[in-house]
């Protein structure tokens, strides 16, 4: 009898675990599946594109330039996609953006397969730059919508959990994508990686078609998209806590994220481990990201402002160590901790906005935080120039030191942000 009671208590305890609560919603399961293809492709391209351009040009500045040509359309579309997301079907925006991204990826695959874009032909780099413009515009449309659609699918009470689980999925595929891409490049070719990415985008588009329609929060009336964008800026300026979240997001992205594009320079020139070693580094980074995601998904809605600021320290301190390491083992050991920071930051930022923002402004506020991801490309451009002047180690290391200082400064001087629950 006592044994049966113990068993029932254990089962009840397992059912009460909230980590996977959002998977009880059928529409969220479909949304999660629709993101799988996108996550897979993005995790592979994150390392493949920077490695390819570095092998084409041997220049850190060119890696930064590639990021810069992507940032302008991404910035513009981030603003307008948020306004559109508050007025029309988010499902439709996701379908269009995923389909266009798949087409662009397929064009790159064909260019590589036919030799038009060739790692041995340094003059063919312009193909990557042209496609980066289109990818930037599409990413600017897609990123705010992916988060803004979540409350309409899972409900207000599951937002934190759903955002965190979405981040878990993204980081899980971040574990597999870079290593797979490194193996395919080493064993076969760059073109095969892009063909695989095309297939995953097709999978993503298929599942997005299966999503149910969600409600449109803001009526059309006589409103227009440009006016909606302006109103979004006014709302953020009035609600200063969102302004602080947006500014911190931009600082975090600009100073912390350029390492992702510049890791290829470390593996080529400092650590000398090639594409396979690069893939392993990025995969191990995903291990920390996955652990961080699961922890955030399980946390109650408390002290999220402090955790948001702490995410900058979690990322910057190990990134400083990684920057000045010349031993592959030490660099590898730092990557899980580096991977934790962006996941903490992204999940907490999204959850705070979805919980605290007026429902009619969620898409626009989210789009302003997506500007941080766009401005990260500006950080990569600056870091790329620094690579060719003071070296990759000081370029990344100095930006990580800046992130630590910003995180501490926000904690000290902006109590309104750190007191958010």
Domain-embedded: residue 6? no
Question: Could you give the 3-state DSSP secondary structure of residue 414?
Answer: coil
CA distances from 53 to 43, 115, 178, 290, 343 (A): 17, 15, 16, 28, 27
Domain-embedded: residue 89? yes
pLDDT digits (tens, 9 = 90+) for 32-45: 888 888 888 888 88
8 A C-beta contact, residue 23 and residue 29: yes
Domain-embedded: residue 217? no
Domain-embedded: residue 305? yes
Beta carbons within 10 angstroms of residue 2's beta carbon: 6
pLDDT band at 13 (very low <50, low <70, confident <90, very high): very low
Query: Would you state the structure tokens that stand for residue 395, as one six-digit string?
Result: 């370029």
Question: Could you give the 3-state DSSP secondary structure of residue 313?
Answer: helix
Residue 373 has pLDDT above 80, yes or no: no
Domain-embedded: residue 9? no
pLDDT digits (tens, 9 = 90+) for 216-266: 554 444 455 566 667 777 777 777 777 888 788 888 888 988 888 899 899
Q: What is the mean pLDDT of the chain?
A: 80
Query: Would you state the structure tokens that stand for residue 198, as one six-digit string?
Result: 């095309």
8 A C-beta contact, residue 280 and residue 179: yes
Count: domains in the chain: 1
Domain-embedded: residue 280? yes
Share of the chain above pLDDT 70, in %: 81
Chain centroid to CA 209: how far? Answer: 23
Of 351, 371, 350, 343, which Cα lies nearest the Cα of 81? Answer: 371
Domain-embedded: residue 15? no
Residue 311 has pLDDT above 70, yes or no: yes
Domain with 165 in it:
21-210+225-418
Backbone Cα Rg of the chain: 21
Beta carbons within 10 angstroms of residue 259's beta carbon: 26
What is the pLDDT, as a whole number, of residue 217?
52
Domain-embedded: residue 269? yes
Q: Look up the CATH number of the domain holding residue 279.
A: 1.20.1250.20
What is the pLDDT, as a whole number, of residue 338?
92
8 A C-beta contact, residue 393 and residue 319: no
> Which of the residue ranges 79-83, 112-116, 307-311, 385-389 would you say has the lowest mean pLDDT?
79-83
∠ CA 78-79-84, nearest 5°, is 95
């Amino acid at each position: 009898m006592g044994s049966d009671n113990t068993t029932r208590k254990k089962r009840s305890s397992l059912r009460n675990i909230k980590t996977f609560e959002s998977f009880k919603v059928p529409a969220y399961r479909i949304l999660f599946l629709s993101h799988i293809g996108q996550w897979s492709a993005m995790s592979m391209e994150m390392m493949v594109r920077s490695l390819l351009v570095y092998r084409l040009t041997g220049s850190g500045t060119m890696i930064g330039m590639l990021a810069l040509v992507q940032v302008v359309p991404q910035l513009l579309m981030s603003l307008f996609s948020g306004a559109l997301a508050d007025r029309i079907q988010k499902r439709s925006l996701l379908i269009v953006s995923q389909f266009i991204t798949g087409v662009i990826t397929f064009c790159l695959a064909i260019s590589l397969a036919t030799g038009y874009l060739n790692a041995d032909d340094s003059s063919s780099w312009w193909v990557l730059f042209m496609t980066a413009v289109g990818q930037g515009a599409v990413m600017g449309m897609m990123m705010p919508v992916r988060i803004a659609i979540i409350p309409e699918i899972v409900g207000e009470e599951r937002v934190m959990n759903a955002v965190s689980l979405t981040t878990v999925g993204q980081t899980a595929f971040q574990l597999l994508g870079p290593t797979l891409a490194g193996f395919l490049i080493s064993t076969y070719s760059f073109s095969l990686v892009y063909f695989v990415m095309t297939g995953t985008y097709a999978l993503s588009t298929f599942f997005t078609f299966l999503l149910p329609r969600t409600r449109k929060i803001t009526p059309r009336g006589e409103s227009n998209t440009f006016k909606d964008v302006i109103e979004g800026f006014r709302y953020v300026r009035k609600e200063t806590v969102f302004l602080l979240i947006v500014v911190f997001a931009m600082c975090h992205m600009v100073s912390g994220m350029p390492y992702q594009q510049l890791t290829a320079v470390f593996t080529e020139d400092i650590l000398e481990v090639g594409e396979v070693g690069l893939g392993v580094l990025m995969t191990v980074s995903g291990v920390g990201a996955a652990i961080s995601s699961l922890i955030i998904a399980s946390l109650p809605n408390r002290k999220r402002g402090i955790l948001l600021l702490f995410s900058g320290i979690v990322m910057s301190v190990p990134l400083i160590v990684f920057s000045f390491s010349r031993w592959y083992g030490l660099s590898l050991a730092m990557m899980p901790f580096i991977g934790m920071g962006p996941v903490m930051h992204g999940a907490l930022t999204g959850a705070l906005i979805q919980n605290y923002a007026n429902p009619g402004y969620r898409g626009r506020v989210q789009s302003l935080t997506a500007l941080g991801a766009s401005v990260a490309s500006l950080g990569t451009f600056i870091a790329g120039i620094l690579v060719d002047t003071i070296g990759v180690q000081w370029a990344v290391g100095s930006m990580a030191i800046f992130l630590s200082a910003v995180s501490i400064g926000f904690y000290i001087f902006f109590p309104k942000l750190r007191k958010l629950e």
